[in-house]
Chain A
Amino acid sequence: MTAEFWNGTMAAAAAAKQARVQVNAAYPITPQTHTVEYLSRFVNDGELDARLCKVESEHSALSACAGAAAVGARAFTASCSQGLALMSEVMYFTSGMRFPVVMAVANRTLSVPVNIWADHQDTLVNRDAGWIQIYTQTVQEIYDLILLAFRIAEHEDVCLPALVAYDGFILSHASEPVHPLDQAAVDAFLPPPGSADRPLLDPARPLQFGEVLFPDWYPDFELKKHRALADSLGTIRKAFEEFEAASGRRYAPVDAFATDGAEMVIVGLGSMMKTARHTAEKLREDGVRVGTAALRVFRPFPAEDLLEAVGGCRTVLVLDRDIGYGTGGMVYPDVTRILYHEDHRPDVLNFIVGTGGKDITPATIERCVELARGGYRGRVEFWPDARGAEEGVPYTEEPAAP
């Protein structure tokens, strides 16, 4: 297929269409809305044989997808921000039921103050809802990883819901050249919709779904759910390989750049990691050995891949486009958790950047690197793009002296 010039919402809709989704239930919310509009057009033009469940809330959107999955259909939804917060209850329900629903999320922060722009607060507060979480850096990746999400979520060894996150406006409303697969290639890559062999609601074979589990057996269930998500990394790797064969495009759970022999490695989620990489390329020309490691797969957490990327460096810069109020960035503890047990423990510094859509420019990344080279150690948290107590102070509290 020739290149298309698509924005992120169109790439998401096109992937869902080519995946031949059967039930699409979604509710409008900026900046995700266009995905629903495109899918509505596909259905009304007869290009997609699906039902549009035009629900009255995000809570119902995911509930309808869960119902569709309960009778074996391929279901898709899209949301973000307040909508995702409203869905949260149903996210736990969907993963507990092991329904392989796929959701596209155009990341947007949570109110108040009212703000419609990108950060990862909405998906990260739901990081432990039992979903596979994939973060993308380009419009092409949105398209590719939504196709992959169907493949992974529906795999018989996984049977878990998956969300593909992309930064609101930065990717949702920016158009880039995208190379879609042709329909035959997608049909060959994905199993036919509704063909998964798993327990379904069927009068011919009555089963009880969604029943109570008493404390004695609850840990056993939790362990199974935890293992299923952790072990899905193997299926994800295999799916990435198969996708490379189908598309020529190569993906890995961690997208590492110039990490070999790097003095510093920048770790984070989403489109800011492309800016980080661009900045690292420039800094390397000046002799600063900076690498980047984008967590493309965040749940399950790709510990081995990340260790490989950051293992030898002196300082890890964790860029969090989010804030766990009262503690720090939400990606940071996952990184320190794995590094603590290593013989060689790099310093891990936390940078809270770009919340509420504040632009993350090469200058932001350069400032982070500059601060990291200041010799700071320990549990230091920088807010390089926030105004401090005094105008011009790059962080809210003076960090421990070098």
Chain B
Amino acid sequence: MKIKEVDREEYLSLGNLACAGCPETLGFRHVLKALGPNTIVINQTGCLAVVMQMAVPKVPHFHVLFENSAAVISGIDDALRVRGKREGVNLLVVAGDGGTADIGLSALSGAIERNQDFIYVCFDNESYMNTGGQRSGTTPFCARTSTTPVGKVIRGEDRVPSLRKDMLEIVAAHHIPYAASTSIAYPLDLIERVRKAAAVRGPSYIHCHSPCPTGWGIDTSEVVNAARTAVQAGVVILYEVEAGVRRRTKRVAKRKPIEEYLRFQARYRHVLDDPEALARIQKDVDERYEAITAALA
């Protein structure tokens, strides 16, 4: 895909309530460009729902509850089918990681299992940023959040085993027609994944890595670099699962060491001088990278 092929229309108005450098708003802008005007957006409670209060998109936008977007869009899908109005309309859910991996997982699982026709995009900023940065099921090991503070006894997220919830693999286990991971650092990849998702009959899921400058303590000018480094370090692996077949969508020639990704972020400051924690994080990243790579076609 080439940049020339990207829709020049802006579906989000200029000016909104997002933090400076917000990657989720950037990603949402690109998702809407990928889908175009015949789209209905269901927005699960999260940062984007607040951002959208004053953003006024050029597509219908419905902020629902924290955990029910996949159920609401199921009803819309069914209703439009019965009314003979389903053709040509993209049904899109946008949600955060808390709404997706935690409180809304049941509704999402049900909607995928029922083979409802919708596109679900999860912007993963690895914590509940809208409520001030509490840990979620996708918060990585050692990360500092407001509910995993760096204390005198426990230092950051301390779950054992240390790997976070793997939403893409959870979704893939539902035999979903299409699922993919992507990153706000690769907008063309994001647009391509969303277009592919839209072409699918039935459910599709996009997991978009979305580093949060406010919550993670990243300089706003470095947000995209941090996101790109996550991919280059193999912390985030870009691949798609189509009819059960896993394909890599972004190759990494030589993986960068984990420190290069962590040093962008204040939430890891306490581990940069902790060789034991660094080794543990690196080991987890290596093992998952190898496991996913082995599963790729």
Question: Which residues on A are within 8 Å of B, measured CB to CB?
Answer: 22-23, 25, 49-51, 53-57, 59-61, 63-73, 75, 89-90, 93, 194, 201-203, 205-212
Instruction: State whether B78 touches A68 (Cβ < 8 A).
Output: yes
* Residues in B219-258 with C-beta less than 8 Å from chain A: none
A53-B114, A63-B71, A71-B83 in contact; A209/B107 too (CB < 8 A)?
no
Contacts of B85 in A (CB 8 A): 71
Known: A22-B83, A56-B109. A210 touches B71 (CB 8 A): no
User: Which residues between 44 and 97 of chain B lie within 8 Å of chain A, taking CB atoms?
Assistant: 50, 52-53, 56-65, 67-68, 70-83, 85, 89
Known pairs A67-B73, A68-B79, A71-B85. 18 more at Cβ < 8 A?
A53-B75, A60-B68, A60-B106, A67-B74, A67-B77, A68-B75, A70-B76, A93-B65, A201-B40, A201-B60, A206-B57, A206-B58, A206-B59, A208-B62, A209-B60, A209-B63, A211-B52, A212-B50
Provide 23 A-B residue pairs closer than 8 Å at the C-beta atoms, listed in order of the A residue: A22-B79, A23-B79, A23-B82, A57-B107, A60-B71, A61-B71, A64-B71, A64-B74, A65-B75, A66-B72, A66-B75, A67-B77, A71-B85, A72-B79, A73-B78, A73-B83, A89-B65, A201-B60, A201-B76, A205-B60, A207-B60, A207-B61, A211-B63
| Residue in A75, A89, A93, A210 whose CB lies within 8 Å of B75 | A75
- Complex: how many Å from CA A66 to CA B107? 14
- Among candidates A57, A63, A89, A208, residue contacting B72 with C-beta atoms closer than 8 Å: A63
In the bound complex, what is the Cα–Cα distance between A109 and B77 (angstroms)?
34
Q: Which one, B71, B81, B83, contacts A194 given CB within 8 A? A: B83
9 closest Cβ pairs, A-B complex: A67-B75, A56-B110, A64-B75, A73-B79, A60-B71, A63-B71, A51-B78, A63-B68, A67-B72
Nearest chain A CB to B273 CB, angstrom units: 43
| B37 within 8 A of partner (CB) | yes
Q: Does B293 contact A (CB under 8 A)?
A: no
> Which single residue of chain B is at the shortest CB-CB distance from A89?
B65
A306 to B264, CA, bound (A): 69
| Structural contact, B72 and A64, CB atoms closer than 8 A | yes
**Inter-subunit contact B60/A202 (CB<8 Å):** yes
A59 to B67, Cβ gap below 8 A? yes
* Shortest Cβ distance from B65 into A: residue: A93
Interface residue? B38 (CB, 8 A): yes
A-B contact number at CB 8 A: 143
Q: Which residues of A contact B107 (CB under 8 A)?
A: 56-57, 59-60, 63
Contact of B71 among A49, A59, A75, A207 (CB under 8 A): A59
Interface membership of B214, Cβ < 8 A? no
B90 to chain A, nearest CB (A): 9
Report if A210-B62 is in contact (Cβ < 8 Å); known contacts: A59-B107, A60-B68, A203-B40.
yes
Q: Which residues of A contact B110 (CB under 8 A)?
A: 55-57, 60
Min Cβ gap B293→A in Å is: 33
Tell whether, in the assembled complex, residue A203 and residue B68 are in contact, meaning their CB atoms are under 8 Å apart: no
Within 8 Å CB of B146, what residues of A? none
Q: How far is the CA of A64 from the CA of B71 in the complex (A)?
A: 5
Contact assessment for A55 and B71 in the assembled complex, using a CB-CB cutoff below 8 Å: yes
A191 to chain B, nearest CB (A): 15
Contact between chains at B72 and A70 (CB < 8 Å): yes
* A93 neighbours in B (Cβ, 8 Å): 64-65
